[in-house]
Amino acid sequence: MSTSRRHSRRAEIESRDPSAHAVGSVLTVDDQAFFRTVLRQLVSATSSLAFVGEADSGEQAVELVRELRPDVVLIDVRMPGLGGIGATHHIKALRSGTVVVLISTARREELPPEAEECPADEIVWKSDLSPELLDDIWGRRGGQARRGAC
């Protein structure tokens, strides 16, 4: 996604009437191209969220959080390099109000111990992801607060 396309998408989201819709912007992060496509389609099917960008690494996610200022980051736990847990620490330090959702295929007992101590807002299994679940997370974690502030 080109930088100009990302910026124009962000401007489109910010120009919406916030009192009419509490639409949250979403950055998706996964090292597998196929699953990034799945995440993009999932976010597009979610009424309260809008896709603004994607990253294939934790390092790239941190850069895009600085640039795009997403409301929500869906990030895979296990990726080469910084990984989802390390990136979450950086993301929360940059933008504490960003809702970070760690996603994984591993069972809870297979997650690294750092996952439970990580400042992520939620841990969700990839098999459980749905537009309804994302709407619920946004409503509980971000959308309600923003809706009330408008």
Alpha-carbon distance 71 to 150, whole Å?
Answer: 16
Q: Is 138 left (phi over 0), alpha (psi -120 to 50) or beta?
A: alpha
pLDDT score recorded for residue 115: 80
Q: Give the CATH H-level superfamily of domain 3-15+24-149.
A: Response regulator (3.40.50.2300)
Distances from the Cα of 69 to the Cαs of 2, 7, 129, in angstroms?
Answer: 16, 11, 23
User: How much is the pLDDT for 143?
Assistant: 65
Task: Going from the first residue of the chain to its last (150 residues), give the mean pLDDT of each consecutive group of 10, the final group possibly shorter.
Answer: 45 43 89 96 94 97 97 95 94 96 85 83 93 93 46
pLDDT at residue 51, as a whole number: 96
* Closest CA relative to residue 76, chosen from 25, 111, 24: 111
- pLDDT for 146 equals 40
How many Å apart are CA 37 and CA 84, to the nearest integer?
A: 18
* Tokens, residue 67: 């640039």
**pTM of this structure:** 0.80
CA–CA gap between residue 109 and residue 134 (Å, rounded): 23
Task: Provide Rg for the chain, Cα atoms.
Answer: 14
Q: Which tokens sit at 148?
A: 């009330």
pLDDT for the residue numbered 5: 43
